[in-house]
Structure 1
Amino acid sequence: MEKQISRYRWVVFATVLFAYFLIVSQRTAPGLITDQLMNDFSLTASTIGLLTSIQFLAYAGLQVPIGILSDRYGPNLFLVVGTLLNGLGTLIYSLAQNEFVLFLARLLVGAGDAAIWVNLVIILSQWFKVREFVGLLGFAAVSGSFGFLLATVPFSAWIALSGWRAPFLTTGILLCLCGILLYYVLVRKPKLLFRHDAAGTGIQKKKKEKTLVILRRMFTQRQAWATFFCHFGVVGTYVGFIGSWAVPFGMHVYGMTRSDASQLIMIGLFGAIIGAPLTSWISSRLDSIKRPYLVVHLFVFSSWVAFLLFSGKPPYFMLVIIFLVMGYGNGASSLTFAVVRKSFDIKEVGVVSGFANTGGFLSAVLLPIIFGKVLDHFQLASSTIGYLYGFIIPVMFSLIGLIGCFLIKEQRHEAKQPSEAIV
C-alpha cells in the first residue's frame, strides 16, 4: 500500500493526534468549574451529574453505529465532522446563559467526541503497517493523557485568571480550525498524492456482510463482552470521576484550592502517561495481554476500595498513590484494543472497538449521575459522608472490570494480511 511507506503518513499522524489531544481535554475540563456552574446557574449536584453524563451518553450511544459506518464508508469525513461538532459544542458552552444551553452544548461535544477514537484507530491502520500501528496506538493513548493533563493545572490557572468562559471559547475556536485542517490533510491532499489509493477512504472492493450479521456475531462472543467489561471498569470510573466530582472532592473534603485539587488529577494523568507505553512493553515481553492487564485491574479495584476503608478520606500521601494508580489503569486500557486487534477479523475491528469503548463511557455516564444522587441525598455536595457512600459506585464498577479481565481468552494469532486497511 503506497501511503503506508510515504512520508506524508507522519503528517497525518501528527495532525490526528493534535486533534485528539484537544478533544480529550474537553472531556474533563468542565469538571474544573463544577462549583462555579452550581453557583452561576443554581444547579443541584444531581443536575451537574446529569450534565456530565449527557456528554458521555452521546459518546457511548454512538460508538457502535460510528464503528459500523466508518468500517463501511471510511473514517476521514467522520473524524472531520466529529472535530467540528466538538468545537461548535465547546463554543456554545462558553456562551451559555441557562442550563438548557449547557445541556445542548455537552450533547454536541459528546456526539463529536464519539467519532474520534474509533476513526483514529482506523486511520492509523490505513496509513501504517501493523508493526508500526501497535506502537503508535500507545502514542495516541499518551496524546490523550496529555489532553487530560491540559485540563488540570494549566486550564485551572487560566480559569482563575480570566473566568471560565474565555478558556472554553478559545478552545472551541481552535477545535473548529483543527477540523478544517483535518479536512485538508485527510481528504483533499491525499486525492492529489494517492490517486490510485481510493482517495484514502479505506473502502475495499469486497462484498460486505449485513450489519445485523456482524452485530449478532459480536454480541454472542465472550471476547467482545470481556473487552466491554474491562473498559467499563477501568476507564469509565476514572473518566467519570475526574470529569465531575474529583475537584469538588479535593476542595470540600481536604479543603484544597481549585488549583491544588486539579493537581490530584494531574498526578493521575502522569500515571496514565506512564501506563500506556509501560504496560504495552510488559505485555510484549511476557507475550501476554491478559496477565499484565489483570494485575492492572486488581490494583485499580484496590485503589477504589481504599476510599471505603478510610471512611472517604485517606491520608494525603495515600490519596496521591490512589490517583496515580487509577491514572495508570486508564493509560493501560489501550490493551483493550490490543485484545480486539488480536481476537477479531480485521474487517470487524472498527465495530468491536466501538463496542468496547461503549463499555468505558457507559460507566462514565452512570457514575456522575449516581454519585450526584448520593451527594444530594446527604443534602450537601461538601458532605464527607456523602462522598464515602458515593465511592461504593466506582468500587462496584471496577469489580465488573476485573471480572471482564478474567473472561479474556488469550489470542496468539495475527491478522492474515497485516497491510490491509480496516474496512
Structure 2
Amino acid sequence: MIHPPARLAWAIWGLGSLVYLIAFFQRVAPAVMTDQLMAEFAIGGAALGNLSAFYFYAYVAMQIPTGLLADRWGPRRLLALGTAVAAVGGALFALAPSLAWAGAGRLLVGASIGVGFVSMLKLSSHWIAPRQFALVSGLLLLTGLVGGVGAGVPLRLLVDAYGWRDVMAAFAALTAALAVALWLFLRDDPEERGYASHFHGKHDAPHEHAPILHSLAEVLSYRNIWLLALVPVGFSGAVLTFAGLWGVPWLRQVHGLEPKAAAAITSVMLVAWGIGGPLLGALSTRSGRRKPLYFTSGIVAAAGWAAVIWAPLSLPALVVLLAITGLASGNIIIGFAWAKESVPLRLMGTASGVANMGPLMGGMFLQPAVGWMLDRHWSGTLANGARIYDAAAYQAGFALLFVTVAVALVGLLFARESHCRQAA
C-alpha cells in the first residue's frame, strides 16, 4: 500500500488540530475578562488566578490518562468525546450563577479538552511522516496560538459588544459542532482509508497492551521524561501566566493602555510563541541534536523576562522584547520531540502525556501564585469593583516568572541528548 496523499493526511490532521485551537482559546480567554470576572464574582487576584487555573488543574491531571488511553482507544474517540464534554463545560462557565459554578465549568473544560494535544501527537505519528514530527508538533502549537490570538482583541471586542456570558455560550455551541465533525470524519490510522500507515511500531490489539500501571512505570523509569516534563514549567508557564492572564491588566494599570491595545500586545507574544515552536523544532531536527538549541533559546527567554520585569523600557522596545521572549519560549516543542525519542515508540502516547504535563503545570502554579503576590502588595485601590495593582506589585509577582525559568534552565543541563533518533 502507498501512504495517504498529503491533501488527505493534512485534512485529517487539520480537523483534529481544531481541538487544540479551542483548548488554547479557553486557556487564555480570562486574560481579556479580568475586570468583568473580578467585578462579577467580587474576587481579588489570587481568586481570579485560581479560577483561571481550574482549567490547568484538570488539564494536567488528564495528561497521563490521556496518554494511556491514546495508546489503547485511539485519538478519534478521545478527541470527539473530549470536545463534546468541553462544550458542556463551556456552557456551564457561561451560565455560572456563582464563582463555584464558574470554577466547575473551567474544571470540566480543562479535563475534557486536555485530551487534545497528546491525542494529536498520536494521530500525527500515524498520518504524518516521522521526519516531520517536530514540525507538526510546532504547527500544532501554532494552531493553538491562533485560538489564543482569537481570545485577545477579537474576544475583547465581542465581550464589549455582547457581554462575556453570551460570547462564551456561543463558543460552547461551536465546540459542540466540532465534536460532531470529529466523530463523523476523523480516522485513527490511514489503513482505515486503504492507505499505508506512517506508524512503524506494532499495532497492538487491546488485549495485548501491558497493564496501565506497568506502562506508566516503564515510561517514568526514563530520566529524560521526568526532566522534559519539568523544564517547560518555566518556559511555558511564564508565557501562559503573562499572556494568558496577568499581562493585559499589567499593561492597562501600569502602562496606561486601553484594553484592546493591551490584548494586542499580549497577542504579539502568543504569535511569536507559535512561530517559535515549529521554527525551533525544525532547526533542532536539521542540526541532529536537541539539547544545544533548547538550552540556548532558554537563555534568551530568561534574559528577555529579566528585561521585561526590571528594565525601564519604552513601549515599542517592550513589544519587541516580548516578541523575542515568546519566540524563544517556543523551544518547548523541541522537548516534545525529544521526549518521544527518549522511549520506545510503543510508549509514545504515555510519554507524550507525561511530557505535556509540564507546560500546563506552569500555568497551574504561576497564575494563582502571581495573583497571590499581587494581593500581598495591593494598596486597596478599586475601580468598578476590580482591584488595581501598582508597578511594584506586578514586579514582585512577575519575579516568580523569572525564577521559574532560571530553574528550568538548570534542569535542562541534566537531560540526555537523543541525537534525533528514536529509542529502541
Post-superposition offset of 1:148: 1.2
Of 397, 400, 407, the residue aligned with 2:404 is 397
C-alpha displacement of 1:187: 5.3
Q: Secondary structure at 1:244's aligned position in 2?
A: helix
In structure 1, the partner of 2:297 is 296
How far 1:194 moved relative to its partner?
A: 4.8
Partners of 2:58 and 2:111 within 8 A in 1: yes
The structure-2 alpha-carbon separation of the partners of 1:209 and 1:75, relative to structure 1 and needing over 3 Å to count, comes to: same
Q: Which amino acid aligns with 1:393?
A: L
2:336 — aligned with what? Answer: 337
The 2-side partners of 1:7 and 1:320 are apart by 37
- Report if aligned partners of 2:127, 2:190 keep a CA contact under 8 Å in 1: no
In structure 1, what is the Cα distance between the partners aligned to 2:356 and 2:192?
Answer: 34
Bigger shift: residues 147-156 or 50-59: 147-156
Kept in 2, the 8 Å contact 1:229–1:400? The answer is no
- The AA in structure 1 aligned to 2:289 is S
Larger mean Cα displacement after TM superposition, 129-138 or 86-95: 129-138
**Equivalent in the alignment of 1:157:** 157
* Equivalent residue number for residue 96 of structure 2: 96
TM-superposition CA deviations, 1:185-239 (whole Å, max 9, x none): 1259989745999xxxx95238322333333333332211221122111112211
Distance 2:62 2:19 in 1: 19
SS of alignment partner, residue 245 of structure 1? helix
Measured at CA, do residues 189 and 238 of structure 1 come closer, stay the same or move farther in structure 2, by a change above 3 Å? closer
Check the 8 A contact 1:94/1:169 in 2, yes or no.
yes
Instruction: For residue 291 of structure 1, report the CA deviation from its aligned partner.
Output: 1.0
How far 1:146 moved relative to its partner? 1.4
Question: Is residue 2:21 matched to residue 1:14?
Answer: no
CA contact (8 A) 2:68 2:350 kept: yes
> What does residue 375 of structure 1 align with?
374
Between 1:105-114 and 1:299-308, the stretch displaced more is 299-308
Shift of 1:7: 5.2
In structure 2, the partner of 1:207 is 208
CA displacement at 1:349 relative to structure 2: 1.3
Matched-pair contact (CA < 8 Å) for 1:84–1:176: yes
Q: Does 1:324 align with 2:323?
A: yes
Shift of 1:252: 0.7
Alignment of 1:355 onto 2:354: yes
Distance 1:195 1:400 in 2: 46
Check conservation: 1:23, 1:83, Cα contact below 8 A. no
Q: Structure 1, residues 4-49: CA drift from partner, whole Å, max 9, x if none?
A: 4585333311211223223311110111101111112211211101
Between 9-18 and 40-49, report the one with greater CA deviation: 9-18
User: Does the CA-based 8 Å contact 1:297-1:405 persist in structure 2?
Assistant: no
Distance 1:21 1:50 in 2: 22
State the distance in 1 between where 2:271 and 2:245 align: 19
**TM-score normalized by the length of structure 2:** 0.90
The whole-number CA distance in structure 2 between the counterparts of 1:25 and 1:305 is 27
- Measured against aligned partners, the alpha-carbon deviations of 1:107-135 in whole angstroms (never above 9, x if no partner) come to 01101221110001101112223134443
For 1:241 and 1:224, locate their aligned partners in 2 and report how far apart those are by CA, in whole Å.
26
1:420 aligned partner = none
**1:407 aligned to 2:406?**
no
- After TM superposition, give the deviation of residue 97 of structure 1 in Å: 2.1
The answer to whether structure 1 residue 280 and structure 2 residue 287 are counterparts is no
Normalized against structure 1, the TM-score is what?
A: 0.90
Q: Which runs of 5+ in 2 are unaligned?
A: 381-387
Cα deviation digits, residues 327-371 of structure 1 (max 9, x gap):
213433211111012221111111111111111111211111111
> Paired residues, what number?
411
Decide whether aligned partners of structure 1 residues 337 and 189 sit closer, same or farther in structure 2, where only a CA change above 3 A counts: closer
| Range that drifts further, 144-153 or 187-196 | 187-196
Moved more, 135-144 or 178-187: 135-144
CA drift of 1:413 comes to 5.9
> Does the aligned pair in 2 maintain the 1:58–1:107 contact within 8 Å?
yes
1:270 to partner: Cα distance? 2.6
Distance 2:300 2:274 in 1: 17
Structure 1: state its 5+ residue gaps.
Answer: 418-423
Q: Kindly, what percent of the aligned residue pairs are identical?
A: 26
CA contact (8 A) 2:243 2:266 kept: yes
Looking at structure 2, the residues matched to 188 and 402 of structure 1 have their Cα atoms a distance apart, in angstroms, of 36
1:53 corresponds to which residue? 53
Instruction: Give yes or no for contact 1:3–1:194 (8 Å, CA) kept in 2.
Output: no
Maintained 8 Å contact 1:234/1:300:
yes
Are the counterparts in 1 of residues 34 and 249 from structure 2 also a CA contact under 8 Å?
yes
